[in-house]
Amino acid sequence: MSEKITFQELIDSIADQTNKPKQFTYDFLKDFVEIVNSGLESDGTISIAGFGKFKLRPMDEREGYNPQTGEKFTIPAHNKVVFKPYKALRELVNAPYKHLEAELLDETTHKEHPPVTQKSDDSAPASSPLSDPDKGEQPALDEKQGKAPWEQPAEESEESHNSLRSDDDQSREVEFSDDDIVEFSPDIKITNYEKLKSSGSSSEGGSRRYDPDELRQMAASYSLQRYRQHKRRVKRRILLATAACFVLLLSVGIWHFGTSTKEGSFDLMKVDFFKTAVDTHEVSSPIPGNSDPSAPDIQIRGSEPVANSNTGRESLRPASTKQVITKGQTLWSLAGQQYNNPYLWPWIYDVNKTSLRNPDLILAGQTLAIPLPHGHNGDLSTNDSLQVAMGYIETYRWYKNHGYSKAKYYLYAARLYNGDIFDYTDVIIDDSDLTFANRAR
Amino acid sequence: MNTNEVVTALAKSRDMSKTETRQLLDVILQTFNDHLARGQSFTVPGLGTFSTHTREPRRSYNPHYKQYIMLPPKRVIDFSPSKGLKEGLKQAETEDE
């Protein structure tokens, strides 16, 4: 990959920069090399600022051979010159890969390299029994590898791996100690293999001597059992997941059924509502028998019709659920849960404004009515968005009355949900807020 | 032997002022660095060959944390001393013995 530069080119480029004759540069370099050479001989190290360090590294005498003749000979002890570039130079050279960092590999990645395990597994049954230290090491090797070959077919999640390990740690315990202690005591090996043997139900228990075939069989049955155990676990998990899916589907079905029946009566309801809305607005004749106990004291002149229309539609509309507030919930989070759109929270506030004195405060243990949207797939119908707009108007009023400057944004949002909302309400709206809100399309 | 000593020795043999020598040496080393940064290899006669190569990304193990890590590719400098440099040192060795 690296392209070569001749010494001549090197001299040329140096001479260019120094404005010195090439011959001079050449001589200078030659002297420099000589000094480095002599410095190495006298000192053993030469450090050159901005470049690196030349160092002598003693090499021991070693055996070598001539690759052409195959003849062996000894390489005498000598010193080797090594060059260690300084950090600045190292970083300069590594600039193209500077942004890369070492990344941590999780267990799953090194599971992809089972050949070592495979090998030890194969060699173990073939070698002679008990006395062979290799055999004692076999499980320990598996342990280190973190992955035994028979676990391969199962899903590779670390969780399953851990649970498997914890499950049969009775037999694994021995291996752990094996791994930690390094030297092998014969006892451990024996218990290990007796376990192996007892777990292998297919192998006969009578014989004292372990011939390789038997051992292989034992190992196989041992692994088979472990594999079965794991498989059972995975099966159970799959069963659980299926059950959860089923329950989910069932609940979705019920919900869908519920909404579809509501939709049937929706058209009628909508007409009714509009009628009441128009009635109350234009004539401001309250619906008979509608004594609104909710009408809050803070309501100002002319807000009654709105309240009336509210109660009117509430009586018509069964589509709301009750929910008890738990700690940590907010109207925002409730709306997010219910409609997948937290911005609809003023709707909930509007419906519950009798019990809520403050749109920013709900208490744990309170029961709130959560209105349900009537459109398809949980979308808002025109009616719904009008109600949301109403909710925003209510929120606006509360914020305005309490001197919040953010009130105008709620007016703006109200207009977003229903363009004609200002015709339906007679909440006193500040002129400047109105101009701000009218910018909404 | 540090840079100062090298510069002193060089200035003496070249019959130049130390500042001048230092400046010249800096330019030379800067040129070396530039070429290496560009991935170009060069040979300084009597000293050795400087070149670069890319170290492939590889898996490694941290025995302390018992973690496997993936080391990113890296470009590193190779230096192979020239024959003269090596032989000179061998002779020095034998002379010592």
SS (H, E, C) A262-313: HHHCHHHHHHHHHHHHHHHHHHCCCCCCCCCCCCCCCCCCCCHHHHHHHHHH
What pLDDT band is residue B46 in, cutting at 50, 70 and 90? Answer: confident
Partners of B97 on chain A (C-beta within 8 Å) are: none
Cα separation of A118 and A147, whole Å?
Answer: 10
Q: What is the structure's pLDDT at A86?
A: 92
Residue contact B72–A97, C-beta within 8 A:
yes
Give CA A321 to chain center in angstroms. Answer: 33
- In A15-34, the residues whose Cβ lies within 8 Å of chain B are 17-18, 20, 25, 27-34
Q: What number is the ipTM of this complex? A: 0.84
Residue contact A93–B86, C-beta within 8 A:
no
Predicted TM-score (pTM) of this structure: 0.38
Contacts for B4 with CB less than 8 Å, ≥ 6 apart: none
**pLDDT at position B91 over 60:** no
Q: What is the structure's pLDDT at B93?
A: 53
The answer to whether residue A61 neighbours chain B at the CB level (below 8 Å) is: no
Residue contact A79–B89, C-beta within 8 A:
yes
Using a pLDDT cut of 90, give the percent of chain B over it.
1
What pLDDT band is residue A108 in, cutting at 50, 70 and 90? Answer: low
Contacts for A131 with CB less than 8 Å, ≥ 6 apart: none
The three-class DSSP label of residue A134 is helix
Question: Which of A53-57, A288-292, A365-369, A377-381 tops mean pLDDT?
Answer: A53-57
**pLDDT at position A95 over 80:** yes
**pLDDT at position A178 over 80:** no
Partner residue opposite A1 with nearest CB, options B35, B39, B77? B39
Contacts for A51 with CB less than 8 Å, ≥ 6 apart: A85, A86, A89, B29, B32, B33
What pLDDT band is residue A69 in, cutting at 50, 70 and 90? Answer: confident
Residue contact A1–B53, C-beta within 8 A:
yes
Contacts for A429 with CB less than 8 Å, ≥ 6 apart: A396, A411, A422, A437
Give chain A's mean pLDDT. Answer: 66
Question: Which of A166-170, A194-198, A315-319, B15-19 tops mean pLDDT?
Answer: B15-19
Cα separation of A399 and A410, whole Å?
Answer: 9
Which amino acid type is present at position A317?
R
What pLDDT band is residue A222 in, cutting at 50, 70 and 90? Answer: low
Q: What is the structure's pLDDT at A190?
A: 40
Q: What is the structure's pLDDT at A61?
A: 83
Partners of B33 on chain A (C-beta within 8 Å) are: 50-51, 89, 92
- Cα dihedral value A103, A108, A109, A113, nearest 10: 150
Number of neighbours of residue A119 by Cβ within 10 angstroms:
11
Residue contact A1–B54, C-beta within 8 A:
yes
The alpha carbon of residue B56 is apart from the nearest alpha carbon of chain A, in Å, by 11
Average pLDDT over every residue of A1-21: 83
Burial class, A419, CB count within 10 angstroms (exposed 0-12 / middle 13-18 / buried 19+):
middle
Candidates B17, B27, B71, partner chain A, best to mutate (most A CBs within 10 A): B27
Backbone angles phi, psi at A44, to 5 degrees: 95, -20
- In A72-101, the residues whose Cβ lies within 8 Å of chain B are 77-83, 85, 89-90, 92-97, 100-101
Lowest mean pLDDT among A43-52, A363-372, B31-40, B50-59: A363-372
Q: What is the structure's pLDDT at A193?
A: 43
Q: What is the structure's pLDDT at A217?
A: 58
